[in-house]
């Protein structure tokens, strides 16, 4: 049977062979899990995703969400499958047991989520978005707030959201104008308008708990003056039953390029002057608190893009094996020669291998991040925990944006493999491409991630965290150099890593000098070359795991898989890395034209 959504053999390879996930399972927090139980979880998640979620993907896209007088109806097919997700408790896999979740190791939860997101991102997120809302309440809420909201959000009986964006406050959240006025009973009355709110209103949950960013009257402008409030759609009575409706309403849903089945809502707070919110944490701590949700949402966005890319690649490679078109190159002039599957054509093979190299590299990178995240919590020493947590923090903008951008590129190339069929609505890769595009926009656009990388992350702890990243890459190169047949590839990766170190130093200095604007004009290409170098690192790492297994006489099926690892690394390192080196030269040359050109010089006036 052909693989769908994600190649299970590849996920197994990454988590068990490359990243040695079993070492994480030795920690006390995961004592109920071993490789076998983890494998069962992923296998069942995959079965549910393919059997139940995937068939709703195209229908959800076609039907979309329907706005009717303040309510939003999700596609009809979603209700039954949503309940299946809840019945199987797939909605809170990685939520810690102390919050009511199942405490599954993060890399196992991520592998399951990859299947669910690839099968139907919009549907899965209705069931899981509340986990982030609940986590903020868990970390900053009063005992009463925790008791009132967390249990029902974790079971997804109630939904959760995040309300940041306003028409004039998108990337610049500090420009928000939603206000909060303190009432004598300690609650706050809110008024304002939010836009683009995912799952702001829908008919899958009986209540929705909105964390809302707002400014308390009189507080300073900008992000420093922002507080965060819990605003329930329905008030909750003391006995836990639902009370009256709060004054927060959905005034419409967006018609979008992709993710048609995800409700993107405009929300009005306080049109009757009666929107009541409860302060979460301290006043003016809103940004610090919401970042708990944003950072995990950024990882989730990376996984969303990866799952789309992976699913699109699976479809493309399987189509290329079946679609008969044209003769093999050596038989081009022989009209009687048989026509062959398009996978036989050199250009199609190049394109497939290009896609595979990114999908594989992104897989490894994503699961590497899940390991850093987990080790940042459970590693034995404080030093090791800090080391891993720092790496995770450093790489958050890269995992978010590099995967978003490359994931989309892979989906677009998958359309190319399908030819004319790929451009039609009958073809699922067309939907994956549209659905994937949002990942470089929400949770902070590409430009915002690039600024974060250059302006904040690169120099953190005097650049030592970044140097640790370079050091991790060099460790893999050193191992590769000693493996038979890997010398040439490892030297090429080594040159790239060293070059990245030089370019980083140069752009980092420039970002703090008079030419800082020029540096920021190159910040996104800089984030991209970091991502490209990570791809080379991850693919080399895969190859050094695979190569000895080939030498040890892997079985026929495994042989093709491991050989595929070596060839993929070879392809990326020999054909893509030279381009990356060229882009590093361009960053170092720091062309100032984008800054120097006058506004009128852009034309179009
Ligand atoms: C489908 C969808 C779902 C969403 N879900 C939610 C949600 O649940 N909750 C929520 O609060 N919001 C949500 N959003 C909003 C989303 O986070 C914002 O759209 C996004 O942060 C960008 O803001 P903006 O659209 O106002 O674009 P703008 O901020 O106007 O940006 C426009 C362009 O300018 C660039 N730019 C802006 N400022 C800078 C700068 N200082 N430096 C460099 N470049 C800059 C950006 O990179 C972008 O390319 C959602 C949006 C969509 C489309």
> Does the beta carbon of 412 sit less than 6 angstroms from any atom of ligand 1?
no
Rounded to whole angstroms, the Cα distance separating 473 from 134 reads 36
Out of 445, 450, 452, mutate this one to test ligand 1's pocket (max ligand atoms within 8 Å of CB): namely 445
Q: Are 259 and 74 in contact (CB under 8 A)?
A: no
What number does the ligand 1 atom closest to the CA of 443 have?
17
Rounded to whole angstroms, the Cα distance separating 368 from 389 reads 12
Residue 69 backbone zone (phi > 0: left; psi -120 to 50: alpha; other: beta): left
Write out residues in the chain with pLDDT < 70, as ranges: 1
Q: Whose CA is nearest to atom 32 of ligand 1?
A: 171
pLDDT for residue 30: 93
Rounded to whole angstroms, the Cα distance separating 404 from 299 reads 11
Q: Are 193 and 184 in contact (CB under 8 A)?
A: no
Q: How many CA atoms lie within 13 A of 239 on its CB side?
A: 2
> Does the beta carbon of 171 sit less than 6 angstroms from any atom of ligand 1?
yes
N residues, the chain: 605
CA 410–ligand 1 middle distance (angstroms): 23
Instruction: Go through 220-250 and write b for each residue having 16 or more CB atoms within 10 A of its CB, e for each that does not.
Output: eeebebbbbbbbbbbebeeeeeeeeebbbbb
Instruction: Go through 256-279 and write b for each residue having 16 or more CB atoms within 10 A of its CB, e for each that does not.
Output: bebbbbbbbbbbbbbeeeebbbbb
Active site residue 206: no
Rounded to whole angstroms, the Cα distance separating 80 from 56 reads 10
Instruction: Compute CA 135 distance to the chain's CA centroid, rounded to the nearest angstrom.
Output: 18
Rounded to whole angstroms, the Cα distance separating 488 from 474 reads 15
What number does the ligand 1 atom closest to the CA of 445 have?
47
pLDDT for residue 73: 98
pLDDT for residue 557: 83
> Does the beta carbon of 267 sit less than 6 angstroms from any atom of ligand 1?
no
Rounded to whole angstroms, the Cα distance separating 412 from 415 reads 5
> Does the beta carbon of 520 sit less than 6 angstroms from any atom of ligand 1?
no
Rounded to whole angstroms, the Cα distance separating 554 from 548 reads 9
Rounded to whole angstroms, the Cα distance separating 56 from 415 reads 21
> Does the beta carbon of 447 sit less than 6 angstroms from any atom of ligand 1?
yes
Out of 122, 165, 267, 397, mutate this one to test ligand 1's pocket (max ligand atoms within 8 Å of CB): namely 165
pLDDT for residue 364: 98
What the block records as the tokens of 357 is 């190299």
The catalytic residue among 443, 472, 491, 579 is: 443
CA 445–ligand 1 middle distance (angstroms): 6
Rounded to whole angstroms, the Cα distance separating 537 from 520 reads 26
What number does the ligand 1 atom closest to the CA of 169 have?
26
pLDDT for residue 283: 98
> Does the beta carbon of 536 sit less than 6 angstroms from any atom of ligand 1?
no
What number does the ligand 1 atom closest to the CA of 200 have?
8
Q: Whose CA is nearest to atom 29 of ligand 1?
A: 171
pLDDT for residue 292: 87
Out of 174, 438, 441, 456, mutate this one to test ligand 1's pocket (max ligand atoms within 8 Å of CB): namely 441
Residue 432: its H or E element: helix 428-437
pLDDT for residue 1: 66
Rounded to whole angstroms, the Cα distance separating 119 from 103 reads 23
CA 400–ligand 1 middle distance (angstroms): 14
């Amino acid at each position: 049977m052909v693989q769908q959504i994600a190649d299970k053999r590849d996920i197994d390879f990454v988590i068990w062979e490359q990243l040695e996930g079993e070492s994480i399972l030795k920690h006390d927090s995961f004592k109920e899990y071993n490789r076998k139980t983890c494998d069962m979880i992923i296998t069942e998640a995959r079965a549910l995703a393919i059997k139940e979620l995937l068939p709703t993907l195209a229908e959800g896209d076609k039907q979309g969400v329907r706005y009717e007088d303040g309510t939003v109806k999700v596609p009809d097919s979603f209700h039954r499958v949503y309940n299946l997700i809840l019945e199987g408790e797939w909605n809170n896999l990685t939520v810690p047991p102390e919050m009511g979740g199942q405490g599954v190791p993060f890399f196992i939860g991520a592998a399951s989520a990859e299947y669910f997101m690839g099968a139907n991102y919009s549907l899965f997120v209705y069931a899981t978005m509340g986990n982030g809302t609940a986590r903020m309440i868990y970390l900053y809420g009063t005992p009463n707030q925790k008791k009132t909201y967390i249990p029902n959000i974790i079971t997804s009986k109630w939904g959760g959201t995040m309300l940041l964006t306003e028409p004039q406050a998108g990337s610049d959240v500090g420009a928000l104008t939603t206000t909060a006025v303190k009432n004598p009973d300690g609650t706050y009355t809110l008024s304002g308008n939010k836009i683009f709110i995912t799952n702001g209103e829908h008919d899958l949950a009986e209540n929705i708990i909105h964390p809302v960013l707002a400014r308390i009257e009189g507080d300073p402008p900008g992000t420093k003056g922002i507080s965060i409030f819990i605003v329930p759609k329905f008030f909750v009575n003391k006995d836990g039953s639902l009370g009256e409706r709060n004054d927060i309403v959905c005034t419409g849903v967006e018609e979008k390029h992709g993710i048609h089945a995800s409700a993107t809502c405009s929300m009005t707070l306080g049109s009757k002057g009666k929107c009541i919110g409860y302060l979460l944490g301290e006043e003016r701590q809103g940004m610090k608190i919401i970042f708990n949700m944003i950072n995990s949402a950024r990882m989730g966005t990376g996984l969303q893009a990866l799952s789309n890319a992976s699913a699109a690649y699976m479809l493309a490679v399987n189509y290329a094996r079946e679609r008969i078109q044209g003769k093999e190159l050596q038989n081009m002039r022989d009209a009687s020669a048989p026509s062959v599957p398009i996978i036989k054509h050199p250009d199609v093979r190049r394109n497939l291998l290009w896609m595979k190299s990114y999908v594989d590299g992104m897989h490894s990178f994503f699961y590497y991040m899940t390991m850093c995240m987990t080790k940042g919590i459970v590693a034995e020493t404080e030093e090791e925990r800090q080391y891993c947590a720092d790496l995770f923090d450093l790489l958050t903008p890269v995992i978010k944006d590099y995967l978003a951008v490359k994931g989309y590129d892979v989906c677009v190339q998958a359309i190319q493999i399908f030819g004319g069929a790929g451009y039609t609505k009958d073809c699922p890769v067309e939907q994956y491409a549209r659905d994937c595009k949002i990942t470089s926009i929400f949770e902070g656009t590409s430009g915002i991630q690039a600024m974060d990388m250059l302006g904040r992350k690169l120099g953190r702890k005097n650049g030592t965290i970044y140097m640790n990243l370079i050091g991790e890459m060099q460790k893999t190169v050193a191992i590769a150099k000693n493996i038979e047949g890997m010398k040439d590839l490892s030297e090429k990766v080594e040159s790239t890593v060293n070059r990245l170190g030089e370019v980083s130093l140069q752009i980092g200095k420039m970002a703090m000098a008079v030419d800082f604007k020029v540096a920021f004009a190159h910040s996104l290409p800089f984030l991209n070359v970091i991502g490209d170098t990570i791809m080379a690192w991850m693919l080399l790492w895969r190859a050094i795991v695979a190569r000895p297994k080939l030498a040890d006489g892997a079985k026929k099926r495994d042989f093709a898989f491991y050989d595929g690892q070596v060839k993929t690394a070879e392809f990326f390192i020999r054909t893509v890395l030279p381009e990356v080196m060229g882009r590093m030269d361009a960053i170092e040359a720091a062309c100032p034209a984008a800054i120097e050109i006058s506004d009128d010089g852009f034309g179009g006036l």
